[in-house]
Amino acid sequence: MTKDEIYERLTAVFRDVFDDETLTIGDSTTADDIEDWDSIEHITLIGAVEDEFGIRFRMGEVSGMKNVGEMVRIIMERA
């Protein structure tokens, strides 16, 4: 799976979770960049990403993710 394919699928997940069809994400996107991304939505987002890619993040990975780029890196390693 290429980085572009991951971003295409990940963008769809983000748009669904945050109910915003205009949302765009990149490597440096963080919770500060998305208005509704709070701790509750973070849990929803992680679950949706895990379901989309058929992976499970470890607790340390979830708490250590600083931006979307780190999420993509983990997905690339596992998918």
CB atoms within 10 A of CB 64: 11
Structural domain spans, the chain: 3-78
The CATH classification of domain 3-78, taken from the options 1.10.10.60, 2.40.37.10, 2.40.30.110, 1.10.1200.10: 1.10.1200.10
Which pLDDT band, with edges at 50, 70 and 90, does 23 fall under? very high
Residues 54-68 pLDDT 10s: 999 999 999 889 999
Mean pLDDT of the chain: 95
Assigned token pair, 7: 């971003």
Whether residue 25 is predicted with pLDDT greater than 90 in this model: the reply is yes
Residues 2-21 pLDDT 10s: 999 999 999 999 999 999 99
